[in-house]
C-alpha cells in the first residue's frame, strides 16, 4: 500500500488512518481491520492503559477506544475502532470533561459529558481534549491510531472522570471558511461564532464512552 505522511502541529499528534483527513495532525495510511481488535499496548510497554466502550443513544455498542502511555516518549497512544454503525465520512472526536454518558434527551444526547476537556491551568490553544477526526468508510467502519502529548493519562481521571465522544459530522477546527466566517482582508466580515469555536461545527454527539483505567 502506498503510504503518505503529513506533518502539522495543530494537535501535536501523529495519526494512522485511511484516506485523506482534514487538517489535524500527521498520519500514515493503514489497512482498516475487518474485525474488532485488541489494543496494541504491548508495543508501548512501561505505561498505563485505559479504554472506553462507545455506545450510541439507543445503547448499541458501536466502537471501542484505547489509551496507552508511552513512557519512553512522554506521550499517549490512542486507538479508536468504529464497528459499522456510523455514516460514511469524517467524524469529529473529542475527550469530554465528565465521565458521564447518560443519554438524556435522545434528540440531543450525552450532554452530561460536559464540554471538551480543558483543565483550569491550560489557558492557550485548543482544548486538550481535541482529537483528530476519524474517517468512516462506506461499510460504516472506521479506524484511527495516533500519538499525542497534549494530555497525560492521569489527566483523564480527575474527580469527574472523562468520556470520549464521536460526533455526527466533521470537525472543522473553527478555521475552515463557511458563510459566517471571516474573509481574509475584510475587517467587516463575520468571524467564527461561539458554537463554531466550541465544537468545530461537528454536529450532534453520536456515540459516547466513559474512559476507565485498565487494571494491570
Structural domain spans, the chain: 47-173+188-213
**How far is Cα 129 from Cα 149, in angstroms, rounded to an integer?**
11
172-185 b/e (C-beta count within 10 Å ≥ 16 → b): bbbeeeeeebeeee
pLDDT computed for residue 149 by the predictor: 87
Q: Where are the alpha helices (DSSP H) in the chain?
A: 194-199
Does residue 188 carry a pLDDT above 80? no
Which residue is associated with the grid cell 469527574?
160
User: To 10 degrees, the CA torsion angle through 192, 15, 72, 118?
Assistant: 20
**How far is Cα 40 from Cα 83, in angstroms, rounded to an integer?**
17
166: nearest Cα among 13, 76, 52: 52
What is the value of pTM for the model shown? Answer: 0.70
Residues in the chain: 216
Average confidence score pLDDT of the chain: 73
For 187, residues 6+ apart whose C-beta sits below 8 A from its C-beta are: none
Q: State mean pLDDT over 95-113.
A: 93
For domain 47-173+188-213, the CATH architecture is Sandwich (2.60)
For 128-187, what is each residue's pLDDT tens digit?
788 989 999 999 999 999 998 888 899 899 999 999 999 886 766 665 555 556 555 566
Provide φ and ψ at 43, rounded to 5°: -75, -10
Does residue 80 carry a pLDDT above 70? yes
Cα separations (Å) of 37 from 41, 73, 130, 143, 164? 12, 24, 24, 10, 18
Amino acid at each position: 500500500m502506498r503510504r503518505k505522511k503529513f506533518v502539522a502541529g495543530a494537535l501535536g499528534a501523529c495519526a494512522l488512518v485511511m484516506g485523506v483527513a482534514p487538517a489535524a495532525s500527521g498520519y500514515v495510511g493503514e489497512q482498516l481491520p475487518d474485525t474488532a481488535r485488541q489494543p496494541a499496548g504491548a508495543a508501548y510497554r512501561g505505561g498505563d492503559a485505559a479504554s472506553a466502550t462507545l455506545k450510541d443513544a439507543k445503547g448499541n455498542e458501536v466502537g471501542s477506544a484505547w489509551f496507552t502511555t508511552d513512557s519512553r516518549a512522554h506521550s499517549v497512544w490512542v486507538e479508536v475502532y468504529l464497528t459499522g454503525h456510523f455514516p460514511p465520512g469524517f467524524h469529529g472526536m473529542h475527550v469530554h470533561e465528565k465521565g458521564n454518558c447518560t443519554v438524556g434527551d435522545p434528540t440531543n444526547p450525552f450532554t452530561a459529558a460536559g464540554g471538551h476537556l480543558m483543565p483550569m491551568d491550560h489557558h492557550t490553544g485548543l482544548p486538550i481534549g481535541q482529537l483528530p477526526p476519524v474517517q468512516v468508510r462506506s461499510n460504516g467502519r472506521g479506524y484511527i491510531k495516533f500519538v499525542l502529548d497534549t494530555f497525560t493519562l492521569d489527566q483523564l481521571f480527575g474527580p469527574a472522570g472523562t468520556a470520549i465522544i464521536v460526533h455526527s459530522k466533521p470537525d472543522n477546527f473553527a478555521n475552515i471558511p463557511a458563510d459566517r466566517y471571516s474573509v481574509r482582508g475584510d475587517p467587516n466580515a463575520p468571524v467564527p461564532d461561539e458554537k463554531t469555536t466550541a465544537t468545530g461545527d461537528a454536529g450532534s454527539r453520536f456515540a459516547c464512552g466513559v474512559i476507565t483505567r485498565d487494571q494491570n
